[in-house]
Amino acid sequence: MLFSISWRNIWRNKVRSLVIIFSIALGIFAGVAATAFMKGLAEQRIQKVIKTELSYIQIHKEGFRQNSDFKGYMPDATQLVSEIRKIPNVIGATERIVVQAMAATAETATGVLVSGVDFENEPKVTNLSEKLIEGEYLKGIKKNPVVIGKKLAEKLNAKIRTRIVITLQDTANNVVSGLFRVSGIYTTNNNMYDESHVFVKAADIRSLTELPEGAAHEIAINIDDNENLPLVEESIKKLATGYEVLDWKSLRPEMNYLTEAMDLYMYIFIIIILLALLFGIINTMLMVVMERTKEIGMLMAIGMNKMRIFFMIILESTLLSLTGGVVGIIIGALFSKWKSVEPIDLSMWAQGYEQLGYDAYVYMSLDPMMLVNITIMVIFTGVIAALYPAYKALKNDPADALRME
């Protein structure tokens, strides 16, 4: 019956209650939508890094990632790759020859990271071949094709078929150069990456550097689902003993922190929203208690104890908050669902976003657990908001309250 009284009390002053419900709904909607937006942004960034730049797991010789020494190769890389492909949940594995080099056109030169890739297996691991805006992926040029990023192409003033001289050190520390021609230009929307990463055929770089057959610096592995990552990683570690096996979280720890940081920011954001709403609810509940002084006095007189009165006011505030909260959550969830299919177009600010490696089209992503947490936070806000008004109500003396007209 207390629940019924509290619920019906909310609707005694419809306009006032609707105003506060609307405020809460709006605040929670903003919180949910912002959360879904930020989560979508972070997930897309991570997915992009995994699919385009990293892959799920990489294997290197110990120390290679720190010093990039050309001699830090794995002599049995090809053999290892063929064994890794047999592991369940692995959908692609490829080796790469990775070397720091100087890329020069007739006009200018710049430092780059050259990846010599198995151009047939690389597309099973990363999707860079789908990011071409011009030309083909290591095709269309008979000898020594190279794929470069759009930003690098602009810097080197290179176009399709432009000759690029790549200069690097071989295994014997001799400086060697090779003449390559641009077969394709890609863009990942991450300008920093596009400016520094070039791709050539592994065979071309192998012959240039005299790297032994079957050897490579890096093995990249693609799996079917991030959920299976620990399992696959464990299996790979057993095969690649003596090598450094790292998943994307270890390869780019900042990506892992990104989701954690985003979650933290979002909780702070929602707490700020709820804090602002808290004062509105306190104000409403204070008005409620003051308006009903006589009624509360009567309830005390006829035998409703303080605990029940306290609970009734807490319940009213909680139901009021929860009504607004649930409306906000539903609208926010529906909006996020819609925007998970129809992306939010930020192309107007694309340049800035892309500089940071984010997409200009953001697909929202909502974590159901976040909705549960927001609901709990709304309930908590309702309870907190009612504490002072409930305390005021309990201070009422029934005899004094009943004398009021």
Partner 1 sequence: MNVIEIKDLVKIYNSSEVQVKAVNGITINFEEGEFTAVVGPSGSGKTTFLNMLGGLDRPTSGSVKIGGINVWDLSSRKLIDFRMNNIGFVFQSYNLIPVLTAGENVEFIMHLQGRPKKEREQRTKELLETVGIGDRIKSRPAKLSGGQQQRVAVARALASKPEFILADEPTANLDSTATSGLLELMSQMNKKYNTTFIFATHDQRVMDKARRIITIDDGKIIKDERFER
- The site for partner 1 (CB under 8 A) is made up of 1, 4-5, 8-9, 12, 294-295, 298-306, 308, 397-399, 402-403, 405
Q: Considering beta carbons, is residue 362 or 393 the nearer one to partner 1?
A: 393
CB of 402 to partner 1, least distance (A): 7
H helical segments located in 292-367 = 293-302, 306-338, 350-355
Q: Considering beta carbons, is residue 53 or 316 the nearer one to partner 1?
A: 316
Strands 109-117 and 163-169, bridge-based pairing? unpaired
Q: Considering beta carbons, is residue 46 or 390 the nearer one to partner 1?
A: 390
Q: Tokens 């990271």 — which residue?
A: 113
Cα–Cα distances in angstroms (integers) from residue 291 to residues 96, 191, 299, 317, 400, in the given order: 76, 62, 14, 15, 14
Q: Considering beta carbons, is residue 242 or 303 the nearer one to partner 1?
A: 303
Q: Considering beta carbons, is residue 81 or 401 the nearer one to partner 1?
A: 401
CB of 404 to partner 1, least distance (A): 10
Query: CA–CA separation, 256 vs 114, rounded Å?
Result: 26
The DSSP code for 212 is P
Of 242, 181, 164, 178, nearest in space to 211 by CA? 178
CB of 398 to partner 1, least distance (A): 5
CB of 381 to partner 1, least distance (A): 24
Q: For 141-158, give the DSSP string.
A: -SSSEEEEEHHHHHHHT-
Phi, psi of 70 (to 5 degrees): -60, -25
Q: What angle do CA 365, 366, 370 make, to 5 degrees?
A: 145
Asked if 87 contacts 59 with a C-beta cutoff of 8 angstroms, the reply is no
Q: What angle do CA 230, 116, 166 make, to 5 degrees?
A: 140
CB of 298 to partner 1, least distance (A): 4
CB of 368 to partner 1, least distance (A): 35
Q: Considering beta carbons, is residue 326 or 402 the nearer one to partner 1?
A: 402
Q: Considering beta carbons, is residue 306 or 337 the nearer one to partner 1?
A: 306
CB of 329 to partner 1, least distance (A): 27
